[in-house]
Structure 1
């Protein structure tokens, strides 16, 4: 199944505040992190949901493998 495409503006609405979904993007894929207790209220340490976190992963204490726990729900346009 082909994943739907979303704009950065559509992604930005999935921040846990404007819409109930909490999504983040990494390497062009959008992941649903709504169920993660670490993303409660759309914030994860100094990171906010609804954004592309590709550039910020180098600062994280974990690797990109963390995204394997979450379902990809779309691709970033």
Structure 2
């Protein structure tokens, strides 16, 4: 699986490139097709970032990432 830097992930924020990606526990997920990530924003969270530390505030568990394709590893 391809490794992406934090800078490369940051470009997949729904604004700079068409892809909308987020990272969690070192894996990068493509959330582009999710209506909840429209324009790269999901409530107070922004795409193109590592959301590992933010999941504790979410009303769901990490199992939500199982719905999305893993596109890479955050290196």
Q: TM-score range by the shorter chain?
A: over 0.9
Query: Of 57, 64, 67, which aligns to 1:66?
Result: 64
* TM-score normalised by structure 2 residue count: 1.00
Match runs of 1:1-77 below 5 Å: 3-77=1-75
TM-score, with structure 1 as normaliser: 0.97
- Aligned equivalents of 2:43, 2:52: Cα separation in 1: 16
Q: How big is the alpha-carbon RMSD for the aligned residues of Structure 1 and Structure 2?
A: 0.2
4+ long deviations beyond 4 Å:
none
Structure 1: gaps spanning 5 or more residues: none
- The gaps in structure 2 that reach 5 residues or longer are none
Work out the number of aligned pairs and report it: 75
